[in-house]
Structure 1
Amino acid sequence: MQDDPNREVDYVLVKVIESRPVSNRIAEDLGVKHESPQIIYVKDRAKYWTASHSAVTSAHMAAVLN
Protein backbone atom coordinates (compact mmCIF):
# COMPACT_ATOMS: atom_id res chain seq x y z
CA MET A 1 0.00 0.00 0.00
CA GLN A 2 2.79 2.40 0.84
CA ASP A 3 4.36 1.98 -2.60
CA ASP A 4 1.10 2.23 -4.55
CA PRO A 5 -1.68 3.97 -2.55
CA ASN A 6 -5.17 4.38 -3.96
CA ARG A 7 -5.19 8.07 -4.93
CA GLU A 8 -8.98 8.29 -4.49
CA VAL A 9 -8.76 7.49 -0.76
CA ASP A 10 -7.73 9.88 2.03
CA TYR A 11 -5.55 8.11 4.59
CA VAL A 12 -5.54 9.35 8.20
CA LEU A 13 -3.59 8.01 11.16
CA VAL A 14 -5.06 8.57 14.62
CA LYS A 15 -2.68 7.84 17.47
CA VAL A 16 -5.11 6.60 20.10
CA ILE A 17 -3.09 7.43 23.21
CA GLU A 18 -2.04 10.88 22.00
CA SER A 19 -5.47 11.73 20.56
CA ARG A 20 -7.91 9.98 22.89
CA PRO A 21 -10.78 12.50 22.37
CA VAL A 22 -10.54 12.09 18.59
CA SER A 23 -10.33 8.32 18.90
CA ASN A 24 -13.34 8.20 21.23
CA ARG A 25 -15.38 10.37 18.87
CA ILE A 26 -14.57 8.13 15.91
CA ALA A 27 -15.59 5.04 17.89
CA GLU A 28 -18.83 6.68 19.00
CA ASP A 29 -19.77 8.15 15.61
CA LEU A 30 -19.03 4.94 13.69
CA GLY A 31 -20.20 2.46 16.32
CA VAL A 32 -16.90 0.60 16.49
CA LYS A 33 -15.10 -0.84 19.49
CA HIS A 34 -11.51 0.29 20.07
CA GLU A 35 -8.97 -2.35 19.15
CA SER A 36 -5.28 -2.04 18.47
CA PRO A 37 -3.99 -2.15 15.87
CA GLN A 38 -7.11 -1.31 13.90
CA ILE A 39 -8.11 -0.07 10.46
CA ILE A 40 -11.46 1.56 9.81
CA TYR A 41 -12.43 2.31 6.22
CA VAL A 42 -15.06 5.05 6.13
CA LYS A 43 -17.09 5.45 2.96
CA ASP A 44 -19.99 7.88 2.56
CA ARG A 45 -19.52 8.95 6.21
CA ALA A 46 -20.18 5.43 7.56
CA LYS A 47 -18.08 2.44 8.57
CA TYR A 48 -17.57 0.39 5.41
CA TRP A 49 -14.92 -2.10 6.58
CA THR A 50 -12.83 -2.68 9.68
CA ALA A 51 -9.99 -4.99 10.61
CA SER A 52 -7.98 -5.45 13.76
CA HIS A 53 -5.10 -7.41 15.23
CA SER A 54 -3.79 -10.10 12.84
CA ALA A 55 -6.27 -9.08 10.10
CA VAL A 56 -4.40 -5.77 9.66
CA THR A 57 -2.33 -6.69 6.63
CA SER A 58 -1.33 -5.07 3.36
CA ALA A 59 -3.16 -7.84 1.51
CA HIS A 60 -6.46 -7.13 3.30
CA MET A 61 -6.12 -3.39 2.74
CA ALA A 62 -5.30 -3.84 -0.94
CA ALA A 63 -8.28 -6.15 -1.45
CA VAL A 64 -10.67 -3.58 0.02
CA LEU A 65 -9.15 -0.40 -1.38
CA ASN A 66 -8.39 -1.49 -4.94
Structure 2
Amino acid sequence: MASERWDWAGGFGKLTTAGVEGTGSFGYRLAHFLASAGVAVFEVNRPNRTTRRRRGKSDPVDA
Protein backbone atom coordinates (compact mmCIF):
# COMPACT_ATOMS: atom_id res chain seq x y z
CA MET A 1 0.00 0.00 0.00
CA ALA A 2 2.86 2.41 0.74
CA SER A 3 4.25 1.93 -2.77
CA GLU A 4 0.85 2.79 -4.28
CA ARG A 5 0.78 6.05 -2.34
CA TRP A 6 4.38 6.77 -3.26
CA ASP A 7 3.51 6.23 -6.93
CA TRP A 8 0.51 8.56 -6.52
CA ALA A 9 2.64 11.30 -4.95
CA GLY A 10 5.26 10.86 -7.70
CA GLY A 11 2.58 11.58 -10.27
CA PHE A 12 2.84 15.25 -9.31
CA GLY A 13 6.57 15.38 -10.03
CA LYS A 14 9.75 14.47 -8.20
CA LEU A 15 9.32 14.84 -4.46
CA THR A 16 12.40 16.57 -3.04
CA THR A 17 11.13 18.38 0.07
CA ALA A 18 8.29 17.72 2.51
CA GLY A 19 6.92 19.41 5.60
CA VAL A 20 5.69 16.98 8.25
CA GLU A 21 3.86 17.85 11.46
CA GLY A 22 4.78 15.91 14.61
CA THR A 23 8.09 14.37 13.51
CA GLY A 24 8.90 13.65 17.16
CA SER A 25 5.71 11.67 17.71
CA PHE A 26 2.94 10.57 15.34
CA GLY A 27 4.69 11.88 12.20
CA TYR A 28 7.93 10.04 12.95
CA ARG A 29 7.31 7.08 10.65
CA LEU A 30 6.30 9.27 7.72
CA ALA A 31 9.34 11.50 8.24
CA HIS A 32 11.60 8.44 8.46
CA PHE A 33 10.10 6.92 5.29
CA LEU A 34 10.51 10.14 3.34
CA ALA A 35 14.08 10.74 4.56
CA SER A 36 15.08 7.18 3.65
CA ALA A 37 13.75 7.87 0.13
CA GLY A 38 16.04 10.91 -0.15
CA VAL A 39 13.41 13.56 0.57
CA ALA A 40 14.44 16.54 2.71
CA VAL A 41 12.03 16.60 5.67
CA PHE A 42 11.20 19.70 7.71
CA GLU A 43 9.12 19.95 10.87
CA VAL A 44 6.11 22.23 10.45
CA ASN A 45 4.20 23.84 13.30
CA ARG A 46 0.62 22.93 14.02
CA PRO A 47 -1.85 25.79 13.49
CA ASN A 48 -3.00 27.55 16.64
CA ARG A 49 -6.00 25.66 18.07
CA THR A 50 -7.84 28.81 19.06
CA THR A 51 -7.54 30.20 15.54
CA ARG A 52 -8.77 26.93 14.05
CA ARG A 53 -11.79 26.78 16.36
CA ARG A 54 -12.85 30.39 15.80
CA ARG A 55 -12.54 30.31 12.02
CA GLY A 56 -13.58 26.72 11.43
CA LYS A 57 -12.03 24.50 8.81
CA SER A 58 -10.49 26.43 5.93
CA ASP A 59 -7.71 25.95 3.43
CA PRO A 60 -5.53 28.86 4.62
CA VAL A 61 -5.53 27.58 8.22
CA ASP A 62 -5.37 23.83 7.47
CA ALA A 63 -3.00 23.80 4.52
Range of TM-score over shorter length:
under 0.3
User: Scaled by the length of structure 1, what TM-score is found?
Assistant: 0.26
Q: Which has the larger radius of gyration?
A: 2
Higher share in helix: 2
